[in-house]
Structure 1
């Protein structure tokens, strides 16, 4: 039987403050051949899919060679449901959706048993509109068609909360179009939506390509970042889109939310530990097509909020901290 997941707070207290040593997880499921791990990612062309494919490829060539197969999905919410159902062993998910699953809130009717391996990078919320269009601030979205992410994606969770704190409900509600990234880009080019709400790395290649064809306005979300943090806690933060991306002439403040690499508690400790070794050995390759300028360090990676760390992850981080 796998040991009870240990929270990051306990791990950090021991590793960083010199407290009593944590009991190492048991060695259950350590024997026998390595199992193949199914990693639920996202839609082709999106950052989750790019990260997942890169992780599967690097695992095949990086000791200790865990066996990882990346599969496409509708992203966060879909991935969390797959973990719960047992059709995926590993998954990527936005932090807000993961915490909803853990507590059985939002689109999840019962609490999910999921554990974290790492917080791998931060999503930047993009609210983009044509530069010469009617949307100049968040309030201008009222009553307009807006692409808010595919059904089953974490973008839908974020969009619902963001629109609520912005007062865009009831008679001021937007006309949500549940479209994935590629479909959102196409709809903005056709003019069938007035804005796109997307959460991903910076720059997101599909949006960089769009910005070269259509002059874009990046709508700042500083007030909304503060409101989300006040309402839902530190799962949200204010982050800065740098000048130069998507044609920005000056930095713009927006909403940041972490992305977690998750595992079913039943994943053997050795497989979780070995997957993390690949992640930290090859993080530059894994993040290259996902978000520019990001780094992955253990002190950042263990910040998984309410999500408990998998015992194999605890063993890995203890080996790093010494």
Structure 2
């Protein structure tokens, strides 16, 4: 059973003689941020957590990842905060099947990025009505976010021709004229949009203050966010949008020492993650304690307590 093996891996970290274990990190598609970030975390664990190694797995992202944690098929997962809350509370797509998950921390925000070609005529959220729109891969946090943002602003799937494509498929479909716009919920900048912008003139569709506030009212894990000018080729002005924290999640029964070692080494060697992807610039104790939406694993709490940071009551069981 995977969690028994986890305890064995932790025993090595404590100086025991158990056989090293390769931990599975559930990430997302190769065109987003989850996969490179998860790969960087896997390398970091292999270098610094004694007796443990890790492998980043390509998945359908947030919703699938929480199911993998629930079944014990993955040891660590990256998932969007709103999906994590739904899974922890047994709501939404997890109705009646709550996941016994705990957080290691929040690692960076996912920005909702609505991309279209510059000559599409799509300049606002309402312009998506009647258009072919990729809302993200099935089982992804992007689709959860896209549906919530649209519905919060009076747009349903009945109003668009929705396509369920992953990030690379969305970029290819935009490039080839097979869709009119696509949603990304990902840490910016992301490779699939960068590659698209290198071959086509793109536009990032802004959200108005009213649209952002409607999203926040719909789900409390949303927060205002601005995509900086120059983030992609051809994007010359800041673009207001909305963001959701990404949470590093494990099952509640992960060994405490192993959880502690992962969190401690992640923060104390974060420069190694930044070298893999700039999203890790937001991987800080301050961001984690302010953005994590479910209780922390006891091993993670031990590290945060050692930093002397003030820990919100909501993060304790």
TM-score bracket relative to the smaller structure? 0.7 to 0.9
Cross-structure match for 1:277: 264
The question of 1:256 aligning with 2:243 is answered yes
Cross-structure match for 1:215: 201
The question of 1:268 aligning with 2:240 is answered no
Cα pair 2:147 2:156 within 8 Å, conserved: no
The question of 1:42 aligning with 2:36 is answered no
**Cα distance change, pair 315–170 in 1 and its aligned pair in 2 (3 A):** closer
Deviation at 1:65, TM superposition (A): 5.6
- The alignment covers a number of residue pairs equal to 292
Cα pair 1:119 1:259 within 8 Å, conserved: yes
1:163 to 145, 150, 174: 150
In the alignment, structure 1 segments of 5+ residues that lack a partner are 1-28
In structure 1, C-alpha distance between the alignment counterparts of 2:51 and 2:266, rounded to whole Å: 11
User: Normalising to structure 2: TM-score of the pair?
Assistant: 0.87
Q: Secondary structure at the match of 1:46?
A: coil
The question of 1:174 aligning with 2:160 is answered yes
- C-alpha deviations, 1:26-49, integer Å up to 9, x for none? xxx757535442211111232111
In structure 1, C-alpha distance between the alignment counterparts of 2:41 and 2:182, rounded to whole Å: 28
Cα pair 1:204 1:290 within 8 Å, conserved: no
In structure 1, C-alpha distance between the alignment counterparts of 2:258 and 2:279, rounded to whole Å: 28
User: Normalising to structure 1: TM-score of the pair?
Assistant: 0.85
Greater RCO, CA 8 A, separation 6+: 1
1:79 to 65, 80, 84: 65
The question of 1:232 aligning with 2:231 is answered no
2:137 to 147, 150, 167: 150
In structure 2, C-alpha distance between the alignment counterparts of 1:314 and 1:125, rounded to whole Å: 30
**Cα distance change, pair 60–170 in 1 and its aligned pair in 2 (3 A):** closer
Q: Secondary structure at the match of 1:193?
A: coil
Cα pair 1:204 1:291 within 8 Å, conserved: no
2:282 to 279, 291, 295: 295
In structure 2, C-alpha distance between the alignment counterparts of 1:300 and 1:156, rounded to whole Å: 24
In structure 2, C-alpha distance between the alignment counterparts of 1:65 and 1:124, rounded to whole Å: 35
**Cα distance change, pair 90–63 in 1 and its aligned pair in 2 (3 A):** closer
In the alignment, structure 2 segments of 5+ residues that lack a partner are 1-9, 310-317
Cα pair 1:126 1:197 within 8 Å, conserved: yes
- C-alpha deviations, 1:117-154, integer Å up to 9, x for none? 01000111100111111311111101211011101110
Cross-structure match for 2:297: 310
In structure 2, C-alpha distance between the alignment counterparts of 1:65 and 1:224, rounded to whole Å: 48
Deviation at 1:58, TM superposition (A): 1.8
Deviation at 1:284, TM superposition (A): 2.7
